[in-house]
Amino acid sequence: MEMMQQEEAAAAAANKAGSEVTQNQTIYINNLNEKVKLDEVKKSLKEVFSAYGKIVEVLAFKTLKHKGQAWVVFDNPESASNAISKMNGYPFYNKPMRIQFAKTKSDVIAKADGTFVPREKRKRHDEKGGKKKKEQHHDSTRVAMPAYPGVYGSAPPLSQVPYSGGGGGVKSNLPEAPAPPNNILFVQHLPHDTTPEILQNLFDKYHGFKEVRMVAAKPGIAFVEFSDEMQSTVAMHGLEGFTIQQTPMRITYAKK
C-alpha cells in the first residue's frame, strides 16, 4: 500500500498552539530506532498499539526519506486519540516515540469512505497549489519549531517510576529513573496471599510468557519474565491496573 505524503514534515515544523491536526483514524510516529529491522518494527508496533483498538494497517518504508517513521491506522479516531495520549514519549527500542495525528488519511480509509484520489492526480493538484502559494508568498519566511516540546526533558509518568523498596533512609527527593524496557516486569501492590499460579493465569495469555517469580520474604511483589521486551510491553499495557481482591496492580520494567 502507498502511504500519505509529506507526513515527515509534521515532526519538524509544528505550528503554534491552536493549529493542531484534525483528529482522525491514523497516527504518525517518528523518532523510531533506525537500527531495528523494518519488519520487526512493524510487527512490534502492531503488538503494542493493538491494546488501544483494532488496527487496520501499519505502514513503514525503507526509503531514506521515511526512515525512523511509521503510520498506524485504527478503525476509529477514538482509538487513535487514546493511543497518542498513552504512548507519546514512550520508549520504543530505547527511543521515545513522538506521535501525533496524521495530516492526511491513509489510502485504505479514503477508499472506504469514498474520498480516495489517485496519487498522480493528487500530485498534480498539489503542484499547482504550491506554485500559486510560492508566487504569493515569495518573500515570506518560515521558522521550523520542534514538534514535540518536552519529550526529552519531561519527568517520566508515575506508572514508570520503579518501586523504591522501602527501608533505609531517604537518599534523594527526586524519583529514581525508570528502568529501560526489558523482558522482565516488576509487579507491585499485590495482596499478600497472591500465589504464582494466580499471576501465571493472568500473564500466560500473552505471547512469550516464561515464568513468574515471587520472593517469600517480600510479599506483595513479583517478577514476570517474557522472551523479549516487546512481549513484556504488550502484557504490561494489557494488565496495568488489573485488580486482584479490589487492589489494582502496578507494573513497571524490572531493574537488572
10-27, pLDDT tens digit by residue?
Answer: 444 434 433 457 889 999
- Please name the residues in contact with 99: beta carbons below 8 A apart, sequence gap of 6 or more: 27, 28, 29, 83, 84, 87, 88
Cell of 138: 515569495
| 207 in a structural domain | yes
On whether the CB atoms of residues 29 and 45 are closer than 8 A, the answer is: yes
In a domain, 138, yes or no: no
Report which of residues 87 and 122 the model is more confident about: 87
Q: Which amino acid is at 53?
A: G
131 domain-assigned: no
**What is the pLDDT at residue 245?**
86
Instruction: With respect to residue 96, please indicate whether it lies within any of the assigned structural domains.
Output: yes
φ, ψ dihedrals at 21, nearest 5°: -70, 140
Helix residue ranges, H only, the chain: 9-12, 38-49, 77-87, 107-113, 119-136, 196-203, 229-239
Range of the domain at 96: 26-113
- Residue where a domain stops, chosen among 98, 113, 128: 113
**Does any domain span residue 10?**
no
Q: How confident is the model at residue 82 (pLDDT cuts 50, 70, 90)?
A: very high
17-73 residue pLDDT tens:
334 578 899 999 999 998 888 888 999 999 899 999 999 999 988 888 888 999 999
The residue among 68, 86, 113 that closes a domain is 113
Looking at the structure of the chain, the number of domains it has is 2
Q: CA triplet 149, 47, 197: central angle to 5 degrees?
A: 115
Instruction: Give the SS3 label for residue 225.
Output: strand
Whether 178 shows a pLDDT value over 50: the answer reads yes
Residue 153 — φ and ψ, nearest 5°?
-95, -10
* Secondary structure class of 213 (helix, strand, coil): strand
Phi, psi of 216 (to 5 degrees): -60, -35
The type of residue at 150 is G
Domain annotation covers residue 150:
no
Beta strands in the chain (DSSP E): 26-30, 55-59, 70-74, 91-92, 95-96, 98-101, 184-188, 209-214, 222-226, 243-244, 247-248, 250-253
Final residue of a structural domain among 65, 89, 113: 113
Write out pLDDT tens, residues 122-132: 555 556 666 66
Q: Between the ranges 114-128, 152-166, 190-204, where is the mean pLDDT highest?
A: 190-204
pTM listed for this prediction: 0.44
User: Could you give the C-alpha distances from 212 to 96, 195, 199, 225, 226, in angstroms and in order?
Assistant: 28, 10, 7, 6, 9
The enclosing domain of 193 has a CATH number of 3.30.70.330
What's the pLDDT band for 216 if we cut at 50, 70, 90?
A: confident
Residue 243 included in any domain? yes
Asked if the structure places residue 45 within a domain, the reply is: yes
Pull the grid cell for residue 223: 517478577
